[in-house]
Structure 1
Amino acid sequence: MSNSPRAVFLDHSSLDLGDLDLSNLKQCFAELQLYPQSSKAEAIERLQGAQVAISNKVPLDAEVFAACPDLKLVLVAATGTNPFDLAAARAHGVVVCNCQGYGTPSVAQHTLMLLLALATRLPDYQQDVRAGRWQQARQFCLLDHPIIELHGKTLGLLGHGELGSAVARLAEAFGMRVLLGQLPGRPPRADRLPLDKLLPQVDALTLHCPLNRDTLNLIGARELGLMKPTAFVINTARGGLVNEQALADALRAGHLGGAATDVLTHEPPRDDNPLLAADIPRLIITPHSAWGSREARQRIVAQISENALAFFNGAAIRVVD
């Protein structure tokens, strides 16, 4: 590694909206080039002579690593490493470091926001007001959509790491009982319930687990069929954890009280995504924005800087195997 490393941020606009302080990050390198977005071909061109690549979602695979022999470090401006060929990185002697836990407060509050919006029927009442229905009411209020209280209800959590634990604490503050589900591919634990026992008990289910071979389509038609017809499903983790067609079908059939997701299988979504159909009731979709508070994005900058300096000092941290 050169004593004056050159770094390239391939998709800077995915992180910085012009509201972040990058001074500490810039001090880590002799040169830091920022590009709003990069295609694969552009990434290969821009990484020539660079020792460090910073990327949120620009894919880096064997072809990129082979074409960029000076590259020694990939700093992922996120937690997920799906866009990166980790085996190819290892084969080319490239270390990959990601960011962790930066978005816990932001994603946890977003999860509760979605749960509260479903419980209070916020989108429906907002639409009623905009359509002039309150002005036409015969009494002082509208109560056309049933509202439920979270107090005394049961929340099921799939994933009880830092983020899931934060959501559990917020839910308990609303008076909810929290149950933990057993994830497939994990050693059984006494405090985790198998899905078949968890799902029939919960009034809401939130997902906070990684997407892998064991968790792909973790919640499908069979699992949704085990849930109460009044229950909510909320996914702020990864698209692909919930089978999108099965969820659309369950909502149309009235087999769920509602659902909300901040993630879809393909992002940006394709027009044929089953959850984007206009006729699905009681569904809230947000555009993978749960993580995106300014505070959370600034924490990413801080962790990228920490990862870079640790690597240069010979003691790399947050290394992805």
Structure 2
Amino acid sequence: MLKIVFLDRDTIGPSVEILRPAFNHEWVEYGKTAPDDVAARLEGADIAITNKAPIRVAAIDGLTRLKMIAVAATGYDVVDVAACRSRGIIVSNVRGYAVNTVPEHTFSLIFALRRSIVAFRQDVIDGEWQRANQFCFFNHPIRNLAGSTIGIFGRGVLGQSVAHIARSLGMKTLFAARKGTQAAGPLYTAFEEVLERSDILTLHMPLTPETRNMIAMPEFRRMRRRPLMVNTARGGLVDEADLVKALDEGLVGGIGFDVLTSEPPKADNPLLRVLDRPNVIVTPHVAWASDEAMQALWNQVIGHIENFEKGVPSNVVG
């Protein structure tokens, strides 16, 4: 009988029905697991399920029965994939489940920033409308999305879905080529050109050694149109200290971030110092978390585990 250990149930919303594999198995579930407890809790496990609990080489070395890790997320940087590969441990992730929820959240941030929704709401709370002595007032900028240009970093299913929504709103779309690439090809625009031409920049790519701090002060200084900067992908793609500096210098027009380098953020995170500004919105990594998307994610996790048990592993990474 296979033993399955779910390390961090609390990272999946309470609305999700936690279905279990159809085959005979032993199930052990924890609400959350600290990094130092991972090895002990996976002792004797054949299959591990993790969302954010890290499974590193130090833990993997002692787990002689471990045969599979099912990552309940698309990003799998919490797992030492190279160590798993060398020991014959299958690692599977989930894909495509967030094709609606992340783009919708992305555009929620874009709409709110482009039309100064947060700023106007605060004005009403503060009594500005009551004191205006006319039917409306013009304290903050309001810009249409139609006719504007959105630069998209990442041409996977999420980037494509964002582009589909953008085109339906009458926006021009640019897909950025990989940073440092000389020949962009017909489907991509040079990285630097996207920075220069876009009114909105949105990130939809994984965090890797190559993409870490992909956008920092040199990139901000190339942004000619004071774009909105939106990140619903991974913290660490943007240098956060440089982002705040760019905001202070007027190089970007607003910030909409759902992900930060450290989550929850540490007290010294520079974005925490600017949360009260009307052109800054930070949400707590919830772009992925519609009820529908979380259920689809979990169903996919169980599907991968059942496929592994049948000898046909799916969505294998690394």
Matches within 5 A, 1:105-254: 105-184=100-179, 188-254=184-250
1:180 positional shift: 1.3
Could you say which residue in structure 2 is the equivalent of 1:10?
7
CA contact (8 A) 1:248 1:280 kept: no
Rounded to whole Å, the distance in 2 between the matches of 1:93 and 1:250 is 46
Cα displacement (A) at 1:166:
0.2
Q: State the alpha-carbon separation in 2 of the partners of residues 255 and 94 from structure 1.
A: 46
Return the letter of the residue paired with 1:67: G
* Contact persistence 2:119–2:278 (CA under 8 A): no
Please say if 1:266 is aligned against 2:262.
yes
Q: Which deviations, in whole Å up to 9, do the C-alpha atoms of 1:150-207 show, x marking residues without a partner?
A: 0111111111110000000111111101111101377742221112222211111111
Which structure 2 segments of 5+ residues have no match?
Answer: none
Q: In structure 2, what is the Cα distance between the partners aligned to 1:138 and 1:246?
A: 41
- Cα deviations by residue, 1:63-102 (Å, 9 ceiling, x for unpaired): 2122221111101010111111112112322111111111
Q: Paired residue for 1:45?
A: 40
Partners of 1:29 and 1:39 in 2: CA distance: 28
Q: Percent identity?
A: 39
- AA of the residue aligned to 1:168: A
The match for 2:316 among 290, 305, 319 is 319
Q: Which residues of structure 1 form unaligned runs of 5+?
A: none
CA displacement at 1:280 relative to structure 2: 5.3
> Which SS does the other structure have where 1:226 is aligned?
coil
Residue 128 of structure 1 contacts residue 134 of structure 1 at CA under 8 Å; is this kept in 2?
yes
- Give, in whole Å, the separation in 1 of the partners of 2:151 and 2:225: 15
TM-score, normalising length from structure 2? 0.95
Q: Is the 8 A contact 2:196 2:225 kept in 1?
A: no
Question: What is the aligned length?
Answer: 316
SS of 2:55's partner is coil
Q: Does residue 100 of the first structure (1) align with residue 102 of the second (2)?
A: no
Partner residue in 2 for 1:90: 85
Do 2:84 and 2:90's aligned partners in 1 also have CA atoms closer than 8 Å?
yes
Hey, what's the Cα distance between the residues in 2 that align with 1:40 and 1:223?
A: 35
Residue 36 of structure 1: aligned partner: 31
Q: Distance in 1 between the 2:23 and 2:290 partners?
A: 24
Q: Are 1:108 and 1:163, in contact at CA under 8 Å, matched by a contact in 2?
A: yes
Deviations 1:100-127 (A, max 9, x none): 1111200000001111011110110111
The alignment partner of 1:43 has SS state of helix
Is the 8 Å Cα contact of residues 180 and 191 (structure 2) preserved in structure 1? no
Map of 2:288 onto structure 1 = 291
| CA RMSD across the alignment | 1.6
Between 84-93 and 179-188, report the one with greater CA deviation.
179-188
